[in-house]
């Protein structure tokens, strides 16, 4: 019954892509995310669900009024804090971002973010080639559900992330991208090994994660758009040019996720709902597209996500 409840919650609601233009001063976002494989919850992809909250303050670097935003031209400092809550974990984060460049590069931003992820039910992962059971069995939704709560312990994942990205708002397209490098510290009863539910990948203490996200939103009219998303993430022994990483005896793990689907804007663009069909692929080699090690079926890789987000800013009477 407990497993059925988790599965039901994971399919219930959703959260996603940044398609809202903020304003200088305070901004609030609340949302939810749900993503799972419709073919079954005992396969390659570990289902995701979270409810989230973010508070951001954009401080102008030039003489501009609060409550306004000069699209693709505003220079700012961003202060942010947020939280995520799911059946698997709870996370608090804080950070700062800088976008000091003049047009046409003012939409570019560098961010530094600290996250503290508390995992309610840590399931032991095979992190080395010699570990038993192997990573093909432990990085599996069925294995994790079987060990959820009653055969697992609390753990904590702290991370320090450097990100470079931005969002360009156009008349027909909004384009968003980010590159990130994250240092990981895991405190776990399983020799500092853990499955990071928030990132969807097994991690080891003193690990690192790097990757990229790309989003394109094609605006068909004021209330309807179509989104295209591509994200990839890798950890472990990928940096072969550096001798310390060559000696790091850990499975090099990676995955990519491609998805597309409609997005409906609601309430004068104050919120949106979207639904996407996606493809998930994982690897244990430096080639993220090499899936021969896991040998997942095509049905396991098909994902369905439902997303919702609501925006609230303080326009101070500005239009």
CB-based contacts of 306, cutoff 8 Å, min separation 6? 11, 13, 14, 34, 273, 274, 275
Look over the chain and give the mean of its residue pLDDT values, rounded to a whole number. 83
CA distance 110 to 98: 5
Say what the pLDDT of residue 289 is. Answer: 54
> Model confidence over 144-162: pLDDT tens digits?
888 776 655 778 889 999 9
| Residue 9 pLDDT level (bands cut at 50, 70, 90) | very low
Say what the pLDDT of residue 42 is. Answer: 72
End-to-end CA separation in angstroms for the chain: 51
CA distance 260 to 85: 25
pTM for this one?
A: 0.85
Structural domains of the chain, ranges and CATH numbers in brackets: 2-313 (2.40.160.40)
Selected residue with higher pLDDT from 147 and 291: 147
Of 13, 70, 11, 71, the C-alpha closest to 41 is: 11
CA distance 38 to 87: 19
CA distance 92 to 50: 13
> Model confidence over 300-319: pLDDT tens digits?
889 999 999 999 987 665 54
> Model confidence over 122-144: pLDDT tens digits?
777 877 777 778 888 888 888 88
CB-based contact 251:284 (threshold 8 Å): yes
CB-based contact 199:156 (threshold 8 Å): no
| Per-range mean pLDDT, top range of 17-26, 88-97, 205-214 | 88-97
């Amino acid at each position: 019954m407990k497993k059925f409840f988790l599965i039901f919650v994971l399919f219930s609601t959703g959260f996603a892509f940044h398609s809202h233009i903020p304003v200088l001063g305070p901004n609030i976002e609340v949302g939810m995310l749900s993503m799972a494989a419709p073919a079954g919850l005992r396969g390659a992809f570990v289902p995701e669900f979270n409810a989230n909250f973010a508070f951001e303050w954009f401080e102008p670097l030039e003489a501009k009024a609060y409550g306004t935003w000069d699209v693709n031209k505003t220079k700012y400092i961003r202060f942010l804090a947020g939280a995520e809550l799911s059946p698997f974990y709870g996370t608090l984060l804080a950070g700062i971002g800088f976008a000091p460049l003049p047009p046409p590069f003012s939409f570019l931003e560098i961010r530094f973010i600290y996250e503290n992820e508390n995992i309610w039910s840590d399931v032991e992962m095979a992190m080395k080639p010699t570990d038993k059971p192997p990573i093909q069995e432990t990085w599996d939704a069925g294995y994790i559900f079987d060990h959820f709560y009653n055969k697992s312990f609390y753990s904590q994942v702290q991370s320090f992330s450097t990100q470079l990205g931005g969002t360009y708002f156009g008349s027909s397209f909004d384009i968003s991208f980010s590159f990130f490098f994250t240092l990981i510290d895991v405190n776990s009863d399983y020799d500092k090994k853990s499955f990071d539910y928030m990132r969807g990948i097994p991690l080891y203490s003193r690990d690192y994660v790097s990757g990229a996200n790309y989003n394109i939103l094609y605006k068909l009219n004021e209330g309807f758009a179509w989104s295209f998303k591509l994200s990839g993430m890798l950890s472990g022994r990928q940096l072969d040019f550096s001798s310390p990483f060559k000696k790091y005896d850990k499975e090099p793990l990676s995955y990519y996720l491609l998805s597309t689907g409609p997005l409906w804007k609601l309430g004068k663009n104050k919120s949106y709902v979207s639904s996407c069909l996606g493809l998930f692929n994982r690897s244990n080699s430096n080639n993220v597209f090499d899936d021969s090690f896991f040998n997942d079926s095509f049905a396991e890789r098909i994902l369905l996500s439902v997303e919702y987000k609501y925006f609230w800013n303080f326009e101070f009477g500005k239009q």
